[in-house]
Structure 1
Amino acid sequence: MKLYRFLSADDTSEFCHKVTAALNKGWALYGDPTYAFDAANGVMRCGQAVVKDKDGTYTPDMKLGEQ
């Protein structure tokens, strides 16, 4: 099965650590990162899609971050 996640966070080192942790768990970058201004909170936000191939069958109740 192929799994997909979209990681996001404020533009701080937290975002880089979140992506780095996913990469070290076998996830791969998918597409370009995004960067946008969150007007409601007055901060820049980052996003990155990641994918992972894994044996098994997908179910909607899976906790993708634990795969």
Structure 2
Amino acid sequence: MKLYRLLTEDDTAEFCHKVSLALSKGWELYGDPTYAYDHANGVMRAGQAVTKDVDADYHPDMKLGQQ
């Protein structure tokens, strides 16, 4: 089964660390990153979709970050 996550964070080094951690756990980049202005908080936000193949059945209670 293929899992999907959308990682988001303010445009800081923390975003890069979040994506790097996911990659180190076997997640793969999916598509291009996104970048947008968050008017409510006055900051730029970054996003990156990642996917991972796992040997398990999907369940909505899965903690995707722990896969």
Cα distance per residue 1:7-33 (max 9 Å; x no partner): 000000000000000000000000000
Equivalences for residues 53-64 of structure 1 within 5 A: 53-64=53-64
User: Which segments of 5 or more consecutive residues in structure 1 lack a partner in the other structure?
Assistant: none
Equivalences for residues 24-63 of structure 1 within 5 A: 24-63=24-63
Shift of 1:56: 1.2
Q: Supply the AA of the counterpart residue of 2:13.
A: S
CA distance in 2, matches of 1:2, 1:20: 19
CA distance in 1, matches of 2:13, 2:32: 18
Equivalent pairs, count: 67
Moved over 6 A (4+): none
What fraction of aligned residue pairs are identical, expressed as a percent? 75
| Partner SS, residue 62 of structure 1 | coil
TM-score by length of 1: 0.99
User: Which segments of 5 or more consecutive residues in structure 2 lack a partner in the other structure?
Assistant: none
Root mean square deviation, CA, Å: 0.3
Shift of 1:48: 0.2
CA distance in 2, matches of 1:42, 1:56: 40
Residue 8 of structure 1 pairs with residue 8 of structure 2: yes
